Amino acid sequence: MRDAYHDELEALTDRLVEMTRLVRSAISRGTTALLDADLQLAESVISADEEVDRNHRELERDIYELMATQQPVAVDLRVVITALRMASDLERMGDLAEHIAKIARMRHPDSAIPASVRDTFVEMGAIAERIVTKAGVCISERDTEAAKELEADDDAMDRLHRRLFRVLLSKDWDHGIEPAIDITLAGRYYERYADHAVRVARDVVYLVTGTRENGN
C-alpha cells in the first residue's frame, strides 16, 4: 500500500522524467534551428526554456517542502537529495539548448554552420537526443545498464567535439573567425549537455547502488 508521502516521492520521479522530455525537445529543435537557420524554431526554443526553469523551481520547492514536513531518512533521503541534483543538471541542459538556439538566432538569416561541419553537428544533435532519452529511462526505470550505455554516447560526443577542432584548424578552413567562434561555442554547449546527462545517469546509479564511482 502507498501512502501520501511515497506518492510524493514518486511524483518527483515523474517530474524529473518530464524535465528530460522538455530538454530533449529543446535540443532537438535547437539543433534543427541551428542547421537550417530557422528563426521561428530558434525563438520557440528560447521562449520554451522558461517552462524548464519553472519545472525546476517547482521541483525544488516540492523537495524542500517534503524534506521539511516528512524528514526523509536512509533511501528516501538519498532520493530527494539526488532529485535536487538531477533537477539542477536538467535545468542546465535546457540553458545549453537555449544557447544553441541563440547562436542560430544571432546569425539568421545566415546559417552559423558551414557545410564542412554540418554532418558533425547532425551527429552531435542525434547523440544529445539519444543521451537525454536514455537519462529519462535511467530515471524512470532506475536502469543502471542504460546509465553505462550513456557513458559510451558521451565518449562519442567527445570524439565529435575533437573532430570539430580538427576541421577548424585544417588549412582548408576558409570561413574566417566568426563561424569559428560560433562553432567553438556550439560544440562546447553540446559537449556540456552530454556531460550533464552523464551526471544524471550517475546519480541514478548512486540512487540504486548507494555508492559513487567518482566525485562527479
If binding is defined by CB under 8 A, does position 118 make contact with its own copies?
no
Report which DSSP code applies to 214. Answer: S
Q: Which is nearer to its own copies, 2 or 171 (CB)?
A: 171
The residue from 6, 21, 36, 64 that contacts its own copies (CB under 8 A) is 64
Q: Which is nearer to its own copies, 121 or 143 (CB)?
A: 121
Spatial CA neighbour of 121 closest among 41, 27, 47: 27
The residue from 35, 156, 168, 208 that contacts its own copies (CB under 8 A) is 168
Say how many CA atoms lie within 13 Å of 40 toward its Cβ: 0
Integer Rg of the chain from CA: 19
Q: Where are the alpha helices (DSSP H) in 37-143?
A: 39-70, 74-107, 115-141
Contact indicator for 72, 79 with CB cutoff of 8 Å:
yes
If binding is defined by CB under 8 A, does position 178 make contact with its own copies?
yes
If binding is defined by CB under 8 A, does position 208 make contact with its own copies?
no
Residue 40 CB, nearest approach to its own copies (Å): 26
Spatial CA neighbour of 190 closest among 51, 26, 49, 56: 26
Residue 145 CB, nearest approach to its own copies (Å): 25
If binding is defined by CB under 8 A, does position 106 make contact with its own copies?
no
If binding is defined by CB under 8 A, does position 81 make contact with its own copies?
yes
d(CA 157, CA 123): 8
Where along the sequence are the contacts to its own copies (CB under 8 A)?
53-54, 56-57, 64, 67-68, 71, 73-74, 77-78, 81, 84-85, 88, 91, 165, 168-169, 173, 177-178, 180-181, 184-185, 188, 215
